[in-house]
Structure 1
Amino acid sequence: MTRLSEEEQSIVALVRDFVDREVRPAVNEMEHANAYPGEFIEAMRRMGVFGLAIPGPYGEAAVSTSCYVHVTEELARGWMSLAGAMGGHTVVSKLILEFGTAEQKERYLPKMATGEIRATMALTEPGGGSDLQAMKTVARREGAGYAVDGAKTWITNARRSRLIALLCKTDPAAEPAHRGMSILLVEHGPGLTVSRDLPKLGYKGVESCELFFEDFRAPGDAVLGGVEGEGFAQMMKGLEIGRIQVASRALGVGRAALEDSLRYAQERESFGRPIWQHQSVGNYLADMATKLTAARQLVLFAAERHDAGLRCDMEAGMAKLFASETAMEIALDAVRVHGGYGYSTEFDVERYFRDAPLMIVGEGTNEIQRNVIVRQLVSRGGLPL
């Protein structure tokens, strides 16, 4: 917390209090009912969470990326789905801030800052997965606008977001393929169908859907930045904050699992003493705390580079890779510490174990992160001192 200003610390404390007072007492019942957290989302909107990445003159409470990490961690500590509800929104905010035309910024950012407009991004396709350059969604020039055809899948907040940053091909014949890709800023309308909510192991409450575009009409000024062919590079830049955000979610899940385990290990007794005093359980707790601390430092390192305007695709990839794998390990160890109760749906631990895998495969799988990291290691001549 030493990296944060007093105002930023107050923001984190406000979110922490909201999580402890409102989210944690209700989350187990809501999560198992797969109920949309409408009241929680509205509370986040009132607190200004959706505007944390949007500075003036469009927003009021832009904070450092380090503060954003802590806010995301707190939300995920309560319910990872709440952090997911603002993840894609932040990426789209950053995309418009950095690449949008003046008109696009004026049209969207003030309402995005207040949460009146919530945004999501649409990258993944049913047959493409991580291979974005193989995408088949195409936007063809027709008159003054575009006709869009294609499908996207696993789109978080697909039904309730008013704005979609759609990555598609405006020049399907371009070689290499990424030079023909653009981001269109589109809103719901005729020709866009949102499917049923996709069933998921975890990450409940917030919807993930398929989007189907069939002769969907987008205006000519929908292209982010007004220039075709820049979409792939724009989205890769936007995913830097996206991967930091996913890593921060992993911190929240890991922290919740550790805190629950530490508390339980002090309350539960066996053979006449608290179970943390048994070396096997104590070792789990020590390793969990050490891994979580290391993961947090790696995430904050990426956040600081992002704030400094330095390239951080490798650092964000490292943070996402390590934090997500750590969250999965801590969640499993939390089940072990809780014993049979860790397998019970009456305890939060089993939810952490179901939520943690999303961070491993989301926002670019960890296998993709390793590819990003090694390419940067080669191009940068190794790790800088």
Structure 2
Amino acid sequence: MTTATAVADDTTRLGAERFRLITALYFTQWLGVGFLTIGLVAILREGGTSLATLGLLQTIGIIWPLKFLWAPLIDRYGSRRIGHYRSWLIPLQLGLVLSLLALTPFVGPSDHLGPIIVICALYVVFSATQDIAADALVVRLLTAGERGLGNGIQVGGNYLGSVVGGGLAVLVYDRFGWVAAILLLAVLTATALGVVIAYREPERELVVERPGYRDLLTVFRQKGCRSWTFLVVPLYYVGAAVGYAIVSPALVDAGWSLTRIGIVTGVVASVPAVLTSLGAGWLVGRLGRRRTLVLGGLLLALSSLGLLPLALGSATTLWTSLALCLFMATYAMANVVVYTINMDYSRADSAGTDFTTLTSFALAISFIAAGLALGLAQLVGYPGVLVASIVLVLIGTALGARHQQRHGVTAA
């Protein structure tokens, strides 16, 4: 074997290891989250839990947008011997497994809401913190040309986690019971722990001595970062969030059961989103960030139009399911390109802090926009809100194209 062949083989092996690690981390981190937000809600509702209590359970999700508050700690502290971010990922992944296993004694979850909510909150803290370390490691491992595919895997892994955690786990629960469903999630989550333990993180070379809280906002000093974060992304994301916010209440008004809504919105519509995420990652590499962003925005606006019959009160199962599949697929595409550009702005020394800060702002804006959309729907109706969401997406797409023309990365 020649030296060149050996180097090529090593490069291929290292590339496969990186993407195997990325897939394992992002898939398993969302397994439990998908179960908590979709599967557990359905299980508890079937057991007679009130909607108010279910709403309290959903508020645990606010931990994710707040994770930027402790992201600098992940960048600042870590083991050089084990690997800076790997030294976080191993105990956090173990924490995800153990917190899932801690749910197994509570057969008949509706009768044990107190401890279940506490354990779920702990799980979400582990999951959000694992996401910081995973994002930071991915920023360091991927070249500019590989980030599209990496973020396609990230978004696709999240949706696949929702399908398994929100759909398959419920089916297992229905057939084999609570313990079997929780063990399924724990075993799948543990697979990523093995991948992390086997991985050897490249040594981290710092330009600054120790990144910390003083670096939290310096990411916005980069050229074009403020306009991207505070103008383009809010419009691009808010439009999608506003459109999606009316889906569940519109389906309830149309007479759909909660179980049917959960299956269609959380499972059926997530399957095409997984495939689209991977395709969008490939497109970013082939077409570039600017063209993919424009294509994603136009398709997102078009797919939002498909929700118009639902907004007008007509929610046939076939059409609504197809419209939601198309909407979630294009929403996933938008996520991939936004995450890729956020990664472009994330510096190697403070990768976890930068990426988390940028994505947390967009997530927080989405939460706020969703709440305002429901209030606005009371005044102008679902169709008016849907039209507004399409206008916002198109404006965000136009501004995003202009931003990328001026400040975008041109890596192949």
Structure possessing the higher relative contact order (Cα contacts under 8 Å, 6 or more residues apart):
2
Task: Please state which structure has a larger fraction of its residues in helix.
Answer: 2
**Shorter-chain TM band:** 0.3 to 0.5
Task: Please state which structure has a larger fraction of its residues in strand.
Answer: 1
Q: Calculate the TM-score normalised by the size of structure 2.
A: 0.32
Q: Calculate the TM-score normalised by the size of structure 1.
A: 0.33
